[in-house]
Amino acid sequence: MTQALGPLARTLALPYYEDALPAHDRFHARRVRDVALRLAEECEAPVDTDVLAAAAWLHDIGRPRERTGAVDDHDAWGAAEAATLLEAEGVATDRAEAVARCIESHSIRASSPEPATVEAELLFDADKLDAAGARGIVRLACIVGERSGRTGERYAVIDDPSVSDLEPPADPDIALLREWAAERLALLYTEPGRRLGASRREFVDEFFHRFDRELGRDGEV
């Protein structure tokens, strides 16, 4: 008998995250797993939580390779790799493919297919919810840093030129993080995901309101 699907996927996934940067590391995968299972408990439709947990652990195994240019699309590569890994451990082909379908549709990029199962929708929502709320703001800042380091350009500037003698920055200011959070929360598929998203959106809005006040945009605190 094969090991339970979720714990097996964790064991298989962890080596792939050894070279991951903070925004897409094993801790992100674990948070996505935890939130996905939480949403599944509130979902009216039946959910294969074993498939969901496995997909959550494996969904970003291709990120480190995509970052270094070894693969072009971590969604497609990760889905195929996950299916191969699971089948090699004796997991039935249909269940390995169910996990792969979740992984290939978890991204917001234009080339990603729409989630075709409730498990895929829940994985998508849980992944996007990890970009909102207190931890989500920190994670988005990490993503900004990753992209800035890769391109050599600044993606975020926290100084407000309207309250200083600085020239207006050529790059987006911190509003980029607000836009990224809002974009992801607007795309959620499931009702449990949207409910949790609304709660996290309140925190995000309050955070950026406070941020603006500390920059002198709306009365210093």
* Cα radius of gyration (the chain): 19
Q: Would you say residue 154 has pLDDT above 70?
A: no
- Ranges of H-type helices in 42-117: 49-58, 63-68, 74-88, 93-104
Nearest to 20 by CA among 78, 87, 85, 101: 78
- Count, in order, helices (H) and strands (E) of the chain: 10, 0
φ and ψ at residue 116, rounded to 5 degrees: -105, -5
Residue-wise pLDDT for 205-220, tens only, equals 999 888 888 877 665 5
pLDDT band at 50 (very low <50, low <70, confident <90, very high): very high
Residue-wise pLDDT for 70-95, tens only, equals 999 999 999 999 999 999 999 999 99
What does the pLDDT read at residue 19? 92
CATH architecture of the domain 1-110 equals Orthogonal Bundle (1.10)
The helix (H) or strand (E) run that includes residue 10 is: helix 5-13
Q: Determine contact, residues 80/100, Cβ cutoff 8 Å.
A: yes
Nearest to 178 by CA among 219, 209, 153, 216: 209
Q: Would you say residue 162 has pLDDT above 60?
A: no
Q: What are the structural domain ranges in the chain? A: 1-110, 131-221
Return d(Cα 88, Cα 102) in angstroms, integer: 19
